[in-house]
Every structure is written in structure tokens, then in C-alpha cells.
Structure 1
Amino acid sequence: MTDRTGPPTTTRRALLGTGAALGAALPLLAGNALPAAADQTSAGLARGTSPGSRSASAAFAFLRGVTDASATWGPRLAQSYDDSRLSDIGFVYDNALTCIALLAAGDWTRARAIGDALLQVQDRDPAKDGRLRQAYHVGALLNADQTPNAGWEYGFTGTAVGDMAWAGLALAQLARRTKRPTYLAGSRRIARWVVERTRSSTGLGGFTFGETAGLEDHKSTEHNIDLYALFRLVATLTGDRSWDGHAEHARAFVRALWNAEDGHFWTGSDDGASINKTPTQLPLDAQTWASLSLGEPRHRACLDWARTSVATTDTPLRPNSSLRGAYAVSGVGFGSGTFRTDVTRPVDGKEWNPKPDDAAVWFEGTAQLALALQQRGSSDDRDRSRALMDQLRSAQDRLGAGQTYHGRRIAGGIVAASSPMDTGFGFDYSQNLHTGATAWYLFAAMRFNPFRF
């Protein structure tokens, strides 16, 4: 998960060291049939003949509804969380996921609407250098002077290479499907920005955080995983093999962050040269994304670490649970810090706190793990993935009812967490509908890897 929510001035990667996103918009296509290779997935979602496919269809409908909540025509972004969380903020990361999921499921029109909005805010950014900010207001994407309406009041105006990479992945997927050169140009512009401004030849190598005050020297395992995938897709689309060299540079950093003894990836580096080994900052998604993006046999154990070390069950009797009645749900937490949290820190604005060894379920990560286990593919992996998908469908049915986007109730989504959750990285999640969690669930339901073509 990339930098996208939490206390107004804090992002996950902002804490790597303390224990720690394009061209003018295009007119939309009126409606496109999927290429033959994708027809089966689209038809399966439409039929809804099994609980799984009905659930995936509902998730697809949710993403479509949220994309249309603020406007039904033209370039637009989707609001990340329901109205109660952060108003009408749409994170670049969540929108990249939503764009890719809509495209994979057959809705080219809405996928292009998001892609065109990313191109628009990239092209109109005051820096004029190809960057994207962390998040934007979706209700009014542009200010009166036609500059992007970034989430300045929340501190969401920095530029992180992880967010940039995901936007680049979404534009690359659009470029491949639609053959529109503007999408490829936007993706390449992102890739060039990253290389020119963040490639490092010192310390652990790799690519630095981006341009966010105080974090310039930080390096994130996740970021470099994302960049490896982006550079490979750009190389494939352009035929320019120099991008493969940049991909290998990112991969070398990720490999250097491997903890062979315990079978997991470390979170990153605070100074670009030494590894951050803080026990409370071992993230789930560095494991799932490394498996999906790199897919290297030498790192197979990272998924076993993920499915065991951060496994959790939330029940109504768990301290600080938001669940009621006889309902319990299982999955994974955000990372080690979810289980070793600071009990003096309020969560979700409340004075009560989660306790050590006490964790809610993080549904976005649960869906990531379900997909990664599918992709790894042993018989046990498939069984475990199915069990996780059952839990996600249960949460889809039971949690988030009545929540709104731009005042509209939109059903079928997945909430961020089963109960308030301290991630251990300085931000939290709660039981709010979330486009990012829903998109990852849809990827798992369709068996679609967003890091690859």
C-alpha cells in the first residue's frame, strides 16, 4: 500500500526512518468491447452465476459507482474512502488501482476517465515536470486557475515514487489496451521523472523516496518493487531496452532488503545506505508485492511469513473491536506494528486504543495475499487463497452498509479494516469503504496481476 491515508501530515513511508503522478485530457470512448483474451473475465463478472462471481460483480459495480459519484462524464477521479473519512480526497494510488481494475473487468470508459484525469493533473501541475501529487479533491479536480486541486489542507501535496509508479502502471495498462499514444507518453514521463530525480548510485542503490520534505534520502522496498514493474512495462511497450536496466537497478535494491534468515523483506532504508530493521516496521505488502512483481523462487518464503506472522482474527469480544453480535472475520494485519502498537496513541480520533498482540483485519492486504497465493500456485496455496476470499466476501456482505460517496449510498465495496487499526507506521485504518481494498479484491477474484500485462 502506498502513501495514502492517516493523520493529516503523516504517510507510511514518512516513518521509514523513525521506526520507519500527465498530457491533456482526451475525449472518452463511448463503450468498448474487450479484446478476445479478456472476454471470459468480463462475461464471468456479468453472469454472476456463483457466490464468487456475484460478489466480484458487486465489487465491479461499486468501483463504477464511486467513479461516477462526483461526475458521470469527462476526466475524473474516484474518491478513496466514504464521505466520513477524508471528505472527497482521491489518492493517486487508489485511483491507479481502480483504473486497472475497471480496465481488466471490461469498463474501458471509466478506466479512461481516470487515466485522462491523471494525465490532466500531470500536465497542469505548477512544477511542469511530469510529477503527480499524493492526492486530489475529486469534487473539483481543478482550481479556478486550472491548476490541480491537490489535498493541500491534509498535507497530501508531496510526490512519492510509489504513487508515481502506480499511476505509470495504470497508464501503461491503458496504453496497451487502447493503443492511445498519450497514455504511453504519460507513463514514460513518469518513468523519466523517477529516473532523473531519484535514481541512486550510492549506498544500497535503488531509487529514493521522491520529493517530500525530510524524506529525500529514504528508500522504500515497496517503491522499488513498483518501479521494477513500471520500467519493465515501459520497456515492453516502447521496445527501448534501456528501461530494463533501470528495472534491474530497482530489483537489486529489493534483493538487498531480503532477510533470508526469517524469510521476509525489510521495509526500506532511512539514509539510503543502511537497512531499517525496526521490529515494529515489517510490512505485509512488501511481501505480497515482491511475490507478484518479481516472482522469484528464492523469495517464496515471504508469503509464508505473511500468512503466518501477521495472521489475525477480529471478534466482537476482542478489545476495541467494531464488530457486533456473532460475527467474526479473519485475515491479516498491516504488518508487525499492528501487533506491537503504541497503546498511548488514539486511533480513529478516539481515546481508546488497540492493545499489544491485538489486531483488526486489513482487507486490502488480505486480498493482496489471496492473489499472491493464487499466483504462487501450490495446492495448499489455492486452498488458503480460497479461505481468504471467503473472508473478504463475508466482509463485503456484512460491513460498510449505509456509507456514502458524495451523499450517495454505493453498495458492493470492501471496507479498509474490520475495526480501528494502528498500522505501526503513524497512520490508521477503520471500517470505511475503500476503493483500494475493493480493487485488490477484484484483482484476486479475476486472478489478475496488476504488475504485469
Structure 2
Amino acid sequence: MTGRQGPALSRRSLIGAGLGISAAGLTAAGPGQAFAAGSPHPRRASGPARGHAFLAAAMDAYPDHGGIRLTQSYADQAGLFSTAFTYDNALAILAHLAARTAVGLTRAKALGEALLYAQDHDPAHDDGRLRQAYNVGPYTFYDGSPQPDGFVRADGTVNVGTQFGFTGTAVGDMAWAGIALSALARRTGARRFLTGAVRIGEWIERTGRTDEPLGGYKFGVDGADQKLPFTSTEHNTDLICLFGRLAGLTGERVWRERRARAAAFVQRMWEPSGGFFYTGTDDGVTVNRSPIPEDTQTWTYLALGSRARGYARSLDWAAAELAVRDHSGRRNSTVPAGQSYEGVTFSSASLLADEDAPIASGQPEPDRNGVWFEGTAHLALALRERGARGDEARARCLLASTERAQELLGGGQTVGGRALPEQSGVVSASSPLDTGFGFGYYPYRHTGATAWYLMASARFNPLRA
């Protein structure tokens, strides 16, 4: 939200000091117009071209604050100011690489260099970790305190997102950063990117490895550097990819053993009678059976590849059990009159949200049928990857709905006070959406949702090892 109502927090806002929450409870193109060669008449740029224009605008929003920079995660209207989540920036790198253009590679390398800089210039740690989020431009916080710096402070340290408590480090965020750096290493051959990815993998091994009965790798640390007790299916799915890539890039067998440990945890979360994956465990012993999120159904398929044939039903579960259609006639919907959007919601709990209570203090009441566009893109990509009968048609419908949102939702929004290119980024949700994990998503243009849309459009699987 905006103004005095406070920010619209995302799932990446949950591990600052005192904010721990359970895993089981957790410019590449022109800005809006393109011209056909030899034609005097303008035609509208494609959805992917406009998506890349948004990523460029969000990356270039603070030109007076240095060349080392990250991409702002949300439009200003979300109330998170210049916050750049590590997860979103990893996705931005991968989306730039998915474009397979010189401009995309240049932008991906610049963001990768910024992540390496953050590893080497943390104000408190020198162990390869990245924080949950950083500030990338100046603003005045809600309490009137100024935040004058860009991503790099005057003393050379990186500008950690302390105002919202985004100071912890999650294994999943680290894994995605490692995946992005390993992709850069493979694309460019530059050793420094592989070195950064290995440092991330070693931090995860030291911090997250657990010998609890369910095994796997635990959630990470909070802002006070205290280990969090939860173990997440999503995070361990990310590690299947990261450790698999490190095994291939380094030739070291130890990464294969670590990949197997993460994969074993994910497989233990499988519910064969229902055809879906549970979200994780709070104590390493008991599987949490509710809520059931979307990403543990789609990312598992994307990460396991041909090994996922026995688990392919998870995509059908997500497509059927989390399907929503949001339209202006629904209670609490913020979709303009005459519009409707189809896709999936965040979790099974989203469908049961209390429509008489705000998601959090100062936030709006949720729409049970709000479409989560990031997850909708996950599903579209996974269906394209599976390629069973009807999968491509279903994926195209999901992408068409996302492109309608790109065109019609989030108009007039800004990044760094600058107007965004028209019809560019994808909003995180069609209407206020309660995830069921203690936070919500809202109709603000979002780097993460846009990046996943771009990867799904390009058939680029970021989790393929």
C-alpha cells in the first residue's frame, strides 16, 4: 500500500530480525512503441519487449547513484521504496539471459557484478552471504528518517534493507542468486561468477545442512544471525538446481552428494494420494500439511526434469486446485469493470482467506480469486516443459491472461519517481491476495512476476541443472 498505510510486504519480507516465519507457514526494448521496418505506422511492441523495458526502467531508476546497481523490485506505489530483493534480482539476471541478446547479456552481467560486490562489501559479514534485500536509491521513510544512499554507501559497503528488517539471509534467496551466477559463469566463461556461486553453495552447506529425520537444508538465518528452524520444500528444490550446476561446473563430486540430500527432502514431501508436494516442516520431524503452495508443485517439476515423471501430477493439481478467475463483480476485487483474469493463486489457504479482515494492519481485505501472476507464469512454463497433450494450449491461455494484466493493470505507476513505460511490467496480483503464510500480494508492477513471465514466454527453464 502507499502513504501512511505502510508497505505491501512480500514473501521475501519474512526473515528480518524478529520477523522469522515458518516455511510451512512459508533497456532491451523501447518503452511502449516499436516500428516495423519500412513501415511509417507504429505498431505496439510485443509483451516480452515491453517486459524487458520494465526491467530496464527498474534497473536504471537511480542514475545519479553509481554504476553498481540492482533492480528495484516493485513500483513505488507498493510502499517499499527502493527495495531490491535478492531473489527478484536473480530472476532479473535469468530473464535477461533468456532474451539471448547482447543488451540482455550486458544487463545480466551488470547485475551479477552487483551481487558479487554485495558478497565482498557486506557491512557485517565476510562469508559469502547475501542479504534478503538492499536499498538502491534515496527516499524518506515513513517515520521521516532520510535514506540518502544508493546501493553502495559512501564508505563502500552495500546498503542493506534495514528499514523493513530485510537483513536476514534465506537459503532459497541464496540459491537463486547462485543459480543466476552459475548461469552467468556458463554463458560468459568468467571464473568470478562461478567463484561467487560456489561461495553461496558453501555458505548454504555450513548454515543450512541438517541431520534431522526429514533431512535437507534448513531455512537460513534472521537479521540477528540466528538460525531459523524451518525446512522448506521450495528452498530444497532450488538447491537441486544450484548443487547440480555446481557439480557440473566444478567437476567436484561433493556437490552431487549435496544435491541428492536436497532432492531426498523434496521427495519426502510428496503426497502420492493427492498428487502434490507439501510445503515443508517446522521441526525437521513432522510434515506440515497445510497450506499447500503453488511453487512447490511447479518448481519441483522444473528442477527434477526427466526424473520428475513420477511427480508430474503436481502440475495438474496446481492447475485444478489453485485455479482462480478474478473479475470486477467479485467481492474485494480491484479489477476494473469489464475485465477478468485467469490463473492460479498462491496456496490452498488463499482460497479460504477471510474476506472480512485485512491481510495485515492497514492493508485491504483480500480477494479469494486474486490471480498470482508470478505463480501463473511458473505453471505456464512447467506445462510447456512437460509437453503433454493440452499442456501448450493451457500455457498459452495463462500467458494471454498475464499479458492482459500487463496491458491493463498497474497503469500510472513509477519507479524512483519516474514514470514506467506504458503497459510494461506485470503486477504481482490482479487484486489483493492473501497467501495464507502471513503476507499478501497486490496489483503493483513487480520485477519477479515480470521476469517469470519473460522466462515462460521464452521457454527458458531457470531450474534446469
TM range (shorter): 0.7 to 0.9
Describe how 1:135-146 pairs up with structure 2 within 5 A: 135-139=133-137, 140-146=150-156
Distance in 2 separating the partners of 1:47 and 1:386: 25
Amino acid at match of 1:164: M
Question: Quick one: which of 77, 86, 89 aligns to 2:83?
Answer: 89
Task: Name the CA distance, whole Å, in 2 between partners of 1:417 and 1:170.
Answer: 25
- 8 Å contact kept, 2:425–2:446: yes
Structure-2 residue corresponding to 1:37 = none
Show the counterpart of 1:129.
Answer: 127
CA RMSD of aligned residues (A): 2.4
Change (3 A) 1:137 1:252: same
Secondary structure at the counterpart of residue 229 of structure 2: coil
Query: Following TM superposition, by how much is the alpha carbon of 1:148 offset from its aligned partner in structure 2, in angstroms?
Result: 1.9
Q: Which residue of 2 aligns with 1:112?
A: 109
Give distance in 2, aligned partners of 1:183 and 1:381.
35
- Aligned to 1:240, the other structure's residue is in SS state coil
Question: Quick one: structure 1 residues 352 and 408, their matched pair in 2 at CA, closer, same or farther if it must change by over 3 Å?
Answer: closer
> C-alpha separation between the residues in 2 aligned to 1:16 and 1:114?
28
Change (3 A) 1:117 1:352: closer
Aligned to 1:76: 69
Instruction: Say how many residue pairs are matched.
Output: 422
> Using the alignment, how far apart are the partners of 2:250 and 2:328 within structure 1?
53
Aligned with 1:15 (options 1, 7, 22): 22
Q: 1-side partners of 2:115 and 2:259: how far apart?
A: 23
Q: TM-score with structure 2 length normalisation?
A: 0.86
Cα deviation, residue 379, structure 1: 2.5
1:330 partner SS: strand
Provide the secondary structure at the position in 2 that maps to 1:314.
strand
Aligned twin of 1:24: none
CA contact (8 A) 1:15 1:426 kept: no
- TM-score, normalization by structure 1: 0.88
Give the match for residue 304 of structure 1: 316
1:48–1:268 Cα change, 3 Å: farther
Q: Percent identity?
A: 45
Asked if 1:57 is matched to 2:55, the reply is no
Which SS does the other structure have where 2:156 is aligned?
A: coil
Which residue of structure 1 aligns with residue 59 of structure 2? 67
Q: Which amino acid aligns with 1:449?
A: N
Q: 1:367 maps to which residue?
A: 377
Amino acid at match of 2:74: Y
- Residue 216 of structure 1 aligns to a residue in which SS? strand
Report 1:387-398 matches (<5 A).
387-398=397-408
Query: Gaps (5+ residues) in structure 1?
Result: 21-30, 33-45
User: Aligned residue for 2:96?
Assistant: 102
Number of the residue aligned with 1:323: 335
Q: In 2 relative to 1, CA 368–52 (structure 1 residues): closer, same or farther, beyond 3 Å?
A: farther
State the SS of the aligned residue for 1:152: coil
Which amino acid in structure 2 is aligned with residue 4 of structure 1?
R
> Which residue does 1:153 correspond to in 2?
163
Matched letter for residue 445 of structure 1: S
Within 5 Å, which residues of 2 pair with 1:215-234? 216-234=228-246
How far did residue 98 of structure 1 move? 0.2
Tell me which amino acid in the other structure corresponds to 1:82. A
Q: 1:52 to 1:374 in 2, by over 3 A?
A: farther
Report how far residue 176 of structure 1 moved: 0.7
Of 294, 299, 305, 1:289 maps to: 299
1:406 maps to: 416
Question: Structure 2: which 5+ runs fail to align?
Answer: 1-9, 29-33, 38-42, 138-149
User: What SS class does the counterpart of residue 182 from structure 1 fall into?
Assistant: helix
**In the alignment, does 2:418 pair up with 1:445?**
no
The equivalent residue for 1:186 is 196
Residue of structure 1 in register with 2:144 after alignment: none
Query: Which stretches of structure 1, 4 residues or more, deviate above 6 A after TM superposition?
Result: 6-11, 46-49
Alpha-carbon distance in structure 2 between the residues aligned to 1:9 and 1:83: 24
Aligned to 2:142: none
| Residues 91-131 of structure 1: per-residue CA shift (max 9 Å, x gap) | 00000000111122121111111111111111112211111
Give secondary structure in 2 for the equivalent of 1:307: helix
Paired letter, 1:262: G
Distance in 2 separating the partners of 1:215 and 1:7: 10
Deviations 1:284-338 (A, max 9, x none): 0111100101131110110011001010011101011111221111111001111
Is the 1:16–1:276 contact (alpha carbons within 8 Å) kept by the matching residues of 2?
no
Equivalent residues of 1:64, 1:102 under 8 A apart: no
Contact 2:69 2:136 in 1 (8 A): yes
Going from structure 1 to structure 2, the CA distance change for 1:315 and 1:194 (only over 3 Å counts) comes to same
What residue is the counterpart of 1:28 in the other structure? none
Deviations 1:12-57 (A, max 9, x none): x72335x45xxxxxxxxxx99xxxxxxxxxxxxx9989x9981111
Given residue 377 of structure 2, which amino acid in structure 1 is its aligned partner? A
Per the TM alignment, residue 178 of structure 1 is displaced from its structure 2 partner at its CA by 1.0
Bigger mean CA offset, 78-87 vs 204-213: 204-213
* Superposition map of 1:261-272 within 5 A: 261-272=273-284
